[in-house]
Amino acid sequence: MESKRSSKLNIAIIHPDLGIGGAERLVVDAAVELASQGHKVHVFTAHHDRNRCFEETVAGTFPVTVYGSFLPRHIFYRFHALCAYLRCLFVALGMLFLWPSFDVVVADQVSVVIPLLKLKRATKVVFYCHFPDLLLAQHTTALRRLYRKPIDFLEEITTGMAEVILVNSKFTASTFARTFKHLHARGIQPAVLYPAVNVEQFEEPHSFKLNFLSINRFERKKNIELAISAFAKLQSLGDASLTVAGGYDERLRENVEYLEELRRLAEREGVSDRVNFVTSCSTNERNNLLSDCLCVIYTPKDEHFGIVPIEAMAAHKPVIACNSGGPVESINDGVTGFLCDPTPQAFSQAMAKFLEDPELAKYGTGRQATRDRFILYSDFWAAPESIRYQHCWH
């Protein structure tokens, strides 16, 4: 057993869509770090667009294999969950029959693949739960509840089959316990493993321009309109501006529609000339935006964790975020930023403090807090504080 732990491992990672987002950033960071430790890492996915992905996935650090990209993401903009399950099952089947056994398989988001992965007894499965999917789905009508019932049942049953279950925050851990009551009754509890950032990638700030920065995927649940409405409420804008940047995928109708909604909102609020939209920026572009901004505006309410506040603090920038979910665990209110009620008025008041005294942004930023409270990139899967993949053999 000890020799198994000390040897280099053959590790597979299954992720539904290797695009641009917080979950994808976590998967890529884990793969890069595991590979740097000498482990053999292979990422499997149902979609990988080389023109819209994190640079590391095309740099050759680890191979990426795609199975099932021909399968639909939806059927007439419905049945997204069913299609996601089918796509991930296809990926798992391809890995199962076309590749030798892996010592460890790390799966995230879609747990239905776990029973297939366990068909090879030598394989141990780690499941990373970003948030229970059943809580992200709508159950508004009797037909939708009927459709979701078997999917929700399968999610709980298959999640409990993993050797190790990890979640991204204490907030998600408590939600997991309330949601998966049968697992909780059986004593199955997830361990918290915070996502990490490579603080070394961020240089000293180039400047503190009077620019507020919002980084999020262009999805309605990210509540980006809060940043625009709060910015518009500032009594004296002066030279201030707002940059709204984030992951954008033309294949996703919501991304297309939401971006247009945000542009119309900026026009209605009379600030369209001061709001700049940046879609699917590269890592270097994102880092430059962080380096130049005054502070970061993070708008999701009850966010499961939120990697953006950690990246912002690592880049020496304060964060204004909602006083709920993961940001409560990552932001030290009044020190590394401000936690506010999710209203335009509350956010605007916090933003005004930085316009009234831009020097405020230079003090109390959270790079050291990021080092102290969260695992560094180089320690992501190896730090003793975390639940390491070797724990599969406990």
Q: Do residues 127 and 203 both lie within one domain? A: no
Residues 164, 298: one domain?
Answer: no
List the one residue out of 168, 193, 192 whose CA is nearest residue 306. 168
Q: Are residues 351 and 256 in the same domain?
A: yes
Domain harbouring 23, CATH code? 3.40.50.2000
Q: At what angle do helices 344-356 and 225-232 cross, to 10 degrees?
A: 60
Query: pLDDT tens digits, residue range 130-187?
Result: 999 888 887 888 888 888 899 999 999 999 999 999 999 999 999 999 999 999 999 9
In a shared domain, residues 97 and 160: yes
**For residue 341, what are the domain limits?**
199-373
Based on the fold, state whether residues 26 and 164 are members of the same structural domain: yes
Q: Are residues 249 and 367 in the same domain?
A: yes
- Kindly state whether residues 100 and 237 are assigned to the same domain: no
Token representation of residue 174: 């408590």
Q: What pLDDT shows up at residue 249?
A: 86
Pair 164, 248 in one domain: no
Q: State the pLDDT confidence band at 205, using cuts at 50, 70 and 90.
A: low
pLDDT tens by residue, 180-202: 999 999 999 999 988 877 777 87
Same domain for 149 and 265?
no
Token duo for residue 162: 């993993």
- 178 and 306, same domain (yes or no): no
Asked if residue 173 and residue 223 are part of one domain, the reply reads no
Confidence of residue 257 (pLDDT cuts 50, 70, 90): very high
Decide: residue 100, CB within 10 A, 0-12 exposed, 13-18 middle, 19+ buried.
exposed
Number of domains in the chain: 2
Q: pTM for the full model?
A: 0.82
> What confidence category does residue 12 fall into, taking pLDDT thresholds of 50, 70 and 90?
very high
Query: Do residues 152 and 259 share a domain?
Result: no
Whether 272 shows a pLDDT value over 70: the answer reads yes
